Every structure is written in structure tokens, then in C-alpha cells.
Amino acid sequence: MNILIVDDEELIVKGLKHSLEQQGYTVFAAYDGAQALNTIKIKRVDFIILDLMLPDIDGMILCQRIREKHSMPILMLTAKDGDYDKILGFEFGADDYMTKPFNTLELIARIKAITRRFKIEKDRSSISIENLTINRDERTVYIDEDRIELTVKEFDMLYLLAQNPGRVYTREQIFSHIWGEEPLDVRTIDVHIRNLREKIEYNVKDPKYIMTKWGVGYYFNKK
């Protein structure tokens, strides 16, 4: 699991990063809101530890901005210990709340508990095949830890094929599913498939995900 720590206190980040890596987690660090948003954009982030007080943006606002596009768990850290701040944090999208100074072992225990709950929900909306991960609710695609940017139609087409591996779809069927209307120019399907392969396949001439059934259409590899 990949954890992003967002905190401008370098000693806290360094110590927490070391403890989490000993637990087997991959840890990214961001020291302000802009770095956090950029990391989320280009990396697969499964869990966020977010400090309330940041130099460039309030942690509540950052939490809200993350929640506009993403659903990964967020554990908020703050030096404040008021009920109002906790309630406000939950309203802005935080999943849990800890005050500084905190016990690292307790924080790790909370991460594990939140992750267990979240995994049940995530498994219902996520497809993972080898190093490819597709999340329906967040409409995100990752190869390993790198996020792949797809157009709306490309994502819809990939998800359609991936949720039914081995099933062959004709170009007409794909067009009807994605555009919701009678097929017009089905050649556009070939263009979208080519673009998808260029983005997710290691070798477009020998694809391992999106396969061609010659004379029929396309399907997602079962392997």
C-alpha cells in the first residue's frame, strides 16, 4: 500500500516515514498542499496522512479538494484537540483524526483498521489485473504506481472490456455501450483502441491486455 504523508514538519515526516516503511508500506512525502496534489496526480496513493496546518493551504480545504476527485482514506493530524475541529474535519472528508503528539503504534493501528474497512468497499469498484488497476468510482487507471490519463471514452471502453474478460465485443456493440446510440462510424472504435494500447500496453504490437478477435472485435485478456 502506498501512503502519502502531507506535513511541513520534516522531523515528523522522517520519523513516520521510517516507521511505516518498516511495516512494509511505500511512503511518499509532501511538505505543502501543492506537492500533495501533484503526488496524487502522478502516483497511486492508497492512504493519506494529512496535517491540518500547512504553509500554503489549510488542511481542511486541501482535504475537500482531494475529496472532489478521490476516495482514498484520509487520516488528519492536528495540534488542536477541540471537538469542533474534529467534526469539521469529518465534514470535509477525513476518515479519522489524531492530535499531535501522537503514538506512532496507535497511528499504524488506525491505518490498518481504516484500510480493512475501506478495502471492502474498494473491492466492489476496482479491477486489478497484474500491474493494471482500474477504479470505477474514481475513474482512475494505474500501471504499477503511475497514473495513466485517459479520456472519458477511453476509460469507459477500457472498463467495459475489463469487467468482462474474455468476452468478445463487436465494434457495433462497443459503440452502442459507450455512446448509447446506434452505431454510426465504427472506425472510431479502432482509433480509441489504438490510443488505449499506446497508453497501457508495454508493446502495442504484442498487447497483453486488449486483444483483437480478427473479423469480430475486441476483448480483454483473461490471463
Averages of pLDDT over each 10 residues, the chain, 223 residues: 94 95 96 95 93 89 89 85 61 84 92 83 74 87 90 93 91 88 81 94 92 93 78
Task: List the chain domain ranges.
Answer: 2-122, 126-220
Q: What are phi and psi for residue 5, nearest 5 degrees?
A: -100, 125
What is the predicted pLDDT for the residue at 124?
63
pTM for the model stands at: 0.61
Q: What is the CATH number of domain 126-220?
A: 1.10.10.10
Q: What is the pLDDT of residue 103?
A: 92
pLDDT at 116: 84
Strand order in the sheet with 96-99: 26-30, 2-6, 47-51, 74-78, 96-99
Give the separation between CA 167 and CA 147, rounded to whole angstroms: 26
**CATH classification (class only), 2-122:** alpha beta
**Which grid cell is 159?**
472498463
**Cα(213)–Cα(173) distance, rounded to whole angstroms?**
14
What pLDDT score was predicted for residue 88? Answer: 62
